[in-house]
Amino acid sequence: MTRHLITSAIPYINGIKHLGNLVGSQLPADLYARYLRGRGQEVLFLCATDEHGTPAELAAAKAGKPVEEYCAEMYETQARIAEGFGLSFDHFGRSSSPQNRKLTQHFAGALADQGLIEEVSQRQIYSPTDGRFLPDRYVEGTCPNCGFEDARGDQCDNCTKQLDPEDLINPRSTISGATDLEMRETKHLFLRQSKLKDELDEWITTKTDWPVLTTSIAKKWLHDGDGLQDRGITRDLSWGVPVKRGDQDWPGMEGKVFYVWFDAPIEYIACAQEWVDAGKGSDWESWWRTDKGADDVRYTQFMGKDNVPFHTLSFPATIKGSGEPWKLVDYIKSFNYLTYDGGQFSTSRGRGVFMDQALEILPADYWRWWLLSHAPETSDAEFTWENFQASVNKDLADVLGNFISRITKFCRSKFGEAVPEAGEYGEAEKALIADITARVARYEALMDAMEVRKSAAELRGIWAAGNEYLQAQAPWTTFKTDPDKAAAQVRLALNLIPLYAVLSAPFIPTAAASMLDAMKVADMPWPDDVPAALGKLAPGHAFEVPEVLFAKITDESREEWAERFAGKRD
């Protein structure tokens, strides 16, 4: 049986992430992991905090704390919020771990042994005002490609073009804002990615099942302009993985650290080591090394489109270039951006909903459902409060919640809190069972293909089928003339609830657990045989009428939240 290794792009440590970050990687990865576990598959789902580089240093300085202390505090915060959203990581690690430090230094040594590391003397931006060299993220300016005025020295977030700090127009220091920058001589290590261009191109060309978004970005980086360029993998920083060649010092590299985009993806592997060292698992190498049993592993990565170049090119270059039998990714699921009410999320302007704020005002399942059912797969998606309210109220309250409330309350009023005795199912019941069976098969196919929005739509259709059946058969009317027939209708409708719970658990795990608890079902396997699953609750099986599963969002609440998260006005 295939084992499934799943990783989500690891979030930067510099602050709490917004809903767009969540839906761009961690949440759909969790959806897929929960689905596969529900199908009885063996899954290792890993994520971590990305703690090195200038984002960490800048955020720590702004917070007035030593960087190590800041990172430790933010790790705990991000881990707590992830738990609040029900993200079911097998391990949530840290890129600052000893395991990642050692493994990063190992890869650097292996790449050097393969002739793929080059020492390059170069001129780098120096700030006399700050008294130091400025690594790429310590420099901002205008993008020469699209004119975006807040492009970073490594990449423009607006057009995703890879940059070097000296490419920027009107560069400035992010530390002091100084513009009196000058070029001075320094030495760094470069990964000779260009030597692997043809091999990477051939590998990516074989990935015909990857999303167009993923392959188009990779191909653009490979072929546009001068093609795939060698990339600096060291920086003049104090916080990070010290530059070593394996366990040996690297002459001339004293005081430097590896570039965060070199060590961060290696954390995926190190995270599995942390998982083992934490006593949660064993034999991490069987997941990551093809000479240790990883041939039966299917590795899937989830990320936003801004992370695609590094995961399709730079990290595979590290893996391939090492000459060692490490597992390469099999499938990359990439996402476009989620915007907020006609603009961008902004921490500095207080614009948009961030993960901690979301959990303050509503349970996680509300957010999980909306984000996944509106996932920005084929294009950017937009969050508006009007759409959020309408979707939650219709899908969760009116369709799913209303179905469960109507049938359990009706059964209690006419037959008591137990599945009633009933005769044979009629044509309407047989038609519903056949319809649900076909829908479940479509749902499974879409989930297997990681079609997030389409899977949500099919699940919504499965919920709606139960409501439509109740509306058409009206057991409350049937009961007046044929109580036995009404009992059969009620029995089938009640059996839909645990089925809905299992199918819905990847999307709304907390509500799904509440549904099973109410129906007093301790163990409900995945419905590989839908007709059999719809007989799970035998006559006489006791249940409880659950509390309101999803309360509707009022106009007053919507307006209050829209005002609260609108941010500073221009």
Residues annotated in the binding site, as ranges? 143, 146, 156, 159, 347
Spatial contact of 137 and 155, defined as CB atoms under 8 Å apart: no
Annotated binding site for Zn(2+): 143, 146, 156, 159
Beta-carbon count within 10 A of 185 CB: 9
Least Cα distance to 445 among 457, 431, 430 occurs for: 457
What tokens does 389 get?
């309210």
Residue 103, amino acid: L
Least Cα distance to 256 among 186, 175, 185 occurs for: 186
Q: 509-518 and 483-504 helices cross at what angle (nearest 10)?
A: 150
What tokens does 476 get?
């409350």
- In whole angstroms, give the CA distance from residue 373 to residue 340: 16
Spatial contact of 127 and 173, defined as CB atoms under 8 Å apart: yes
Spatial contact of 140 and 174, defined as CB atoms under 8 Å apart: yes
Total residue length of the chain = 570
Least Cα distance to 270 among 285, 259, 258 occurs for: 285
Beta bridge partners of 191: 117, 231
- In whole angstroms, give the CA distance from residue 182 to residue 180: 7
Least Cα distance to 184 among 261, 143, 236, 251 occurs for: 236
Q: What is the DSSP letter of 568?
A: -
Q: Which long-range contacts (CB under 8 A, 24 or more apart) does 258-261 make?
A: 258/52, 258/104, 258/108, 258/233, 258/234, 259/53, 259/231, 259/232, 259/233, 259/234, 259/235, 260/50, 260/52, 260/53, 260/54, 260/55, 260/95, 260/235, 261/53, 261/154, 261/310, 261/314
Query: The sheet that has 151-152: what strands, in order across it?
Result: 151-152, 139-142, 169-173
Beta-carbon count within 10 A of 177 CB: 10
Please list the alpha-helical segments (H only) found in 382-523.
385-391, 402-414, 427-448, 452-473, 475-481, 483-504, 509-518
What tokens does 332 get?
């990359």
Radius of gyration of the chain from its Cα atoms, rounded to whole angstroms: 27
What separation in angstroms does the CA of 128 have from each of 73, 153, 302? 32, 18, 41
Annotated binding site for ATP: 347
